[in-house]
Amino acid sequence: MHNPSEQNFIQQLSIDCVIFGYHQKQLQVLVNKLNFNGNFWALPGGFVFQNEDIDKAANRILQERTGISEIYLDQFYVFGNATRNNLNFIDELIALNPHMSIDEKSNKVEYEWFTRRFISIGYYALVDIRKVVPQKTDLDESIHWINIKDLPSMIIDHNDIVLKALESLRVNVDEKRLAFNLLSETFTMKEAQELYEAIFDKPFARNNFQKKILDLDILDRLEKKFTGAANKAPFLYRLKK
Amino acid sequence: MHNPSEQNFIQQLSIDCVIFGYHQKQLQVLVNKLNFNGNFWALPGGFVFQNEDIDKAANRILQERTGISEIYLDQFYVFGNATRNNLNFIDELIALNPHMSIDEKSNKVEYEWFTRRFISIGYYALVDIRKVVPQKTDLDESIHWINIKDLPSMIIDHNDIVLKALESLRVNVDEKRLAFNLLSETFTMKEAQELYEAIFDKPFARNNFQKKILDLDILDRLEKKFTGAANKAPFLYRLKK
DNA sequence: ACAAAAGTGTTTGTGTTACACCCATGC
DNA sequence: GCATGGGTGTAACACAAACACTTTTGT
């Protein structure tokens, strides 16, 4: 990866992605720990090339991080407060990483590129967590799926971005039937219900949930799934094409 | 107004405003005709200062154009296709305005500033049309309220921006009770209904509309309004504080 | 008295919630 | 048989749409 300041990016504009997965009955968010001393966590993000649609840029960033294309994506908000810059973060980072101070401060161009105020376009993505192999960049020490309820404090306003993304997801999940992007291709009704419960953080009545979802007429009922459990075998379902 | 390229604006980022008013039972949009030969129409817009929140910038732009502050405002979408630039528009403009060609082409900096690709943040605003005195800038020949159904073809994707703004308005009007921003302080139930009919472009049943709105419990019923018409006098209403 | 439009009530339909019951499966 | 969890039916309720009737006003 080259220095961003040397590339043909639009200046002061970034894209931040809230990548939602679903595992162990909980919503998970893909976040990376930056490759510096100190606990710096951030959402996967990137910049927009001069000749690139912003939707394409978001897709590219997601593909880099998840390894999969054809991801469900929605632009949900622009974060543009004047105080949105990396100054605090970079200064704290340099304090904790004395070796950086020479590199970065001497590299004026790079330092100035990064510490200017950024306007960031928020996208959220919904992925089947089993298909994703998280990829870190050379800025990252590591990249993790973290339960949305256990997210660490992140740089700038990234925690707020996650909150706003969840809000938008909740608003859109019904009308756009997009929750099923988080499940594998086939699933039981109980799995779908638990997913909804994770998204809305509240319980649903089993029978009414089933009725509501089936009345949408968007699922095909497949064969039963024999689990070996001491109860009736549930049907598998798949999204209609 | 100084040349934008000389000011401390964030580059390649603009704000476009869809300012909704309501008059003669129809939604109106404030648009300006550019001060050049040829029929160039555009939405009111502007740029963001380096030290300015984007919401503040939108507010500033709206105040410049309408003369009023305290305007209801919502960010609704970012338009960021790579093809979003003023090149076609500027070239057509120069063809129709030969005197410009020297000014603009020789003024390389200005020309390049304007013809680069722009990412534009869309805001819609709701105003009481009677309180607004539309202000043109020196780029405008004139500024007009135009019925949303009769809008001319505008530069770049400004017609699409209006469509998307209307879509967002329709989604938000119920939950945010924001339609009343378009009416004067007091209004009859019929006026409110006609406004809703203009926004959704469909009729509502009179009695059910009244019931629905009153059940929201957001209006105070005031005195009757005697119109001199040969029928029962309607009540006036006002938004509760 | 009548027309016009405002106000209000009643019925119908639809969709959601709550409760109840039956069915398949393994121990 | 029994515990467990899945599937389905129905009554109760809330909300919205459709229909009907009454009231006020000026001519």
Residue A108's CATH number = 3.90.79.10
Q: Whole-angstrom Cα distance, residue B240 to residue B236? A: 13
Please give the pLDDT value at position A101: 67
Q: Which of B172, B204, B221 is the last residue of a domain?
A: B172
The answer, yes or no, to whether residue B149 has pLDDT greater than 70, is yes
Q: Are B9 and B50 in contact (CB under 8 A)?
A: yes
Mean pLDDT of chain A: 90
The answer, yes or no, to whether residue A1 has pLDDT greater than 60, is no
Q: Regarding predicted confidence, which is higher, A128 or A3?
A: A128
Instruction: Identify all chain A residues contacting B82, using CB atoms and an 8 Å cutoff.
Output: 50-53, 56
The reply to whether A72 and A132 lie within a common domain is: yes
Average the pLDDT over A92-106 and give the result.
73
First to last CA, chain B: 39
User: Among B86-100, B101-115, B167-181, whose mean pLDDT is lowest?
Assistant: B101-115
User: Among A29-38, B83-92, B100-109, whose mean pLDDT is lowest?
Assistant: B100-109
Q: Report the DSSP beta bridge partners of residue A121.
A: A15, A78
The reply to whether B114 and B158 lie within a common domain is: yes
CB-nearest to A54 from B11, B50, B119 is B119
pLDDT bucket at A156, cuts 50 / 70 / 90: very high
Please give the pLDDT value at position B106: 61
First to last CA, chain A: 39
Taking the alpha carbons of B72, B78, B83, B85 in that order, is the dihedral positive or negative?
positive
The reply to whether A46 and A85 lie within a common domain is: yes
The reply to whether B39 and B85 lie within a common domain is: yes
Average the pLDDT over B49-77 and give the result.
95
Average the pLDDT over B73-100 and give the result.
87
Q: Are B43 and B159 in contact (CB under 8 A)?
A: no
Look at residues A66, A22, A17, A19 and name the one whose alpha carbon lies nearest to residue A182. Answer: A22
Q: Are A183 and A203 in contact (CB under 8 A)?
A: no
Please give the pLDDT value at position A229: 78
The reply to whether B163 and B83 lie within a common domain is: yes
- Give the rounded distance of the alpha carbon of B43 from its chain centre: 7
- Give the neighbor-by-neighbor strand order of the sheet with B235-239: B186-188, B235-239, B219-224
The answer, yes or no, to whether residue B230 has pLDDT greater than 80, is no
Please give the pLDDT value at position A177: 78
The reply to whether B101 and B132 lie within a common domain is: yes
- Among A14, A16, A119, A167, pick the best mutation site for testing chain B contact (most B Cβ within 10 A): A119
- Spatial neighbors of A237 by CB under 8 A, at least 6 apart, are A186, A187, A188, A189, A192, A219, A220, A221, A222
The answer, yes or no, to whether residue A5 has pLDDT greater than 80, is no
Q: Whole-angstrom Cα distance, residue A76 to residue A102? A: 38
For residue B177, being part of any structural domain is answered with no
CB-nearest to B75 from A12, A55, A78 is A78
Nearest Cα residue in chain B from A76 = B77
For residue A52, being part of any structural domain is answered with yes
Average the pLDDT over B98-104 and give the result.
68
Whether the predicted model's global pTM rises above the 0.85 cut: yes
Q: Regarding predicted confidence, which is higher, B229 or B131?
A: B131
For residue A177, being part of any structural domain is answered with no
Both structure tokens of A174: 């019904």
CATH of the domain at B223: 1.10.10.10
Task: Determine whether B172 is exposed, middle or buried from the number of CB atoms within 10 Å of its CB (0-12, 13-18, 19+).
Answer: middle
State whether residue B4 is helix, strand or coil.
helix
CA of residue B208 to C1' of nucleotide C12, angstroms: 14
Kindly provide the b/e burial profile for residues A65-104, where b requires at least 16 CB atoms within 10 angstroms of the residue's own CB: bbeeeebbbbbbbbbbbbebbbeebbeebbeebeebeeeb
The reply to whether B143 and B205 lie within a common domain is: no
The reply to whether A120 and A192 lie within a common domain is: no
Print the domain residue range for B225: 183-239
CA of residue A24 to C1' of nucleotide C25, angstroms: 25
The answer, yes or no, to whether residue A161 has pLDDT greater than 60, is yes
CB-nearest to A11 from B11, B56, B75 is B11
Q: Regarding predicted confidence, which is higher, A175 or A223?
A: A223
Please give the pLDDT value at position A160: 97
Q: What percent of chain A has pLDDT over 70?
A: 95
User: Among A14-23, A91-100, B169-178, whose mean pLDDT is lowest?
Assistant: A91-100
pLDDT in tens, A13-59: 999 999 999 999 999 999 999 988 888 999 999 999 999 999 999 99
Mean pLDDT of chain B: 90
pLDDT bucket at A89, cuts 50 / 70 / 90: confident
- The H helix count followed by the E strand count for chain A is 7, 10
How far is residue B98 from each of residues B33, B36, B91, B93, B235, measured CA to CA in Å? 19, 11, 11, 9, 59
The reply to whether B187 and B225 lie within a common domain is: yes
The reply to whether B65 and B163 lie within a common domain is: yes
Q: Give kind and range of the element (H or E) at residue A73.
A: strand A72-79
Both structure tokens of A145: 């799926």
Chain A 156-215 contacts with nucleic strand D (CB below 7 A): 188-190, 206-208, 210-211
Please give the pLDDT value at position A108: 76
Q: Which of B172, B192, B221 is the last residue of a domain?
A: B172
Q: Give kind and range of the element (H or E) at residue B214.
A: helix B206-215
pLDDT bucket at B129, cuts 50 / 70 / 90: very high
B14 CB-side CA count, 13 A = 24
What DSSP string runs through B65-128? HHS--S-EEEEEEEE--TT-BSHHHHHHHHHH-HHHHHHHHHSHHHHHHHHSB-EEEEEEEE--
Please give the pLDDT value at position B79: 98
Q: Phi then psi for B186, rounded to 5 degrees?
A: -115, 150
Q: Phi then psi for A145, rounded to 5 degrees?
A: -85, 125
The reply to whether B152 and B49 lie within a common domain is: yes
For residue B178, being part of any structural domain is answered with no
The shortest C-alpha distance from B6 to chain A (Å) reads 17
pLDDT bucket at B112, cuts 50 / 70 / 90: confident
- Give the rounded distance of the alpha carbon of A201 from its chain centre: 18
User: Among A119-133, B179-193, B224-238, whose mean pLDDT is lowest?
Assistant: B224-238
The reply to whether A164 and A187 lie within a common domain is: no
CA of residue A217 to C1' of nucleotide D14, angstroms: 24
Q: Which of A172, A197, A214 is the last residue of a domain?
A: A172
The answer, yes or no, to whether residue B104 has pLDDT greater than 90, is no
Domain count, chain B: 2
The answer, yes or no, to whether residue A6 has pLDDT greater than 80, is no
The answer, yes or no, to whether residue B64 has pLDDT greater than 70, is yes
Please give the pLDDT value at position A235: 93
Q: Whole-angstrom Cα distance, residue B218 to residue B240? A: 5
Q: Whole-angstrom Cα distance, residue B40 to residue B105? A: 19
| Residue B228 beta carbon within 7 A of nucleic strand D | yes
Please give the pLDDT value at position A102: 59
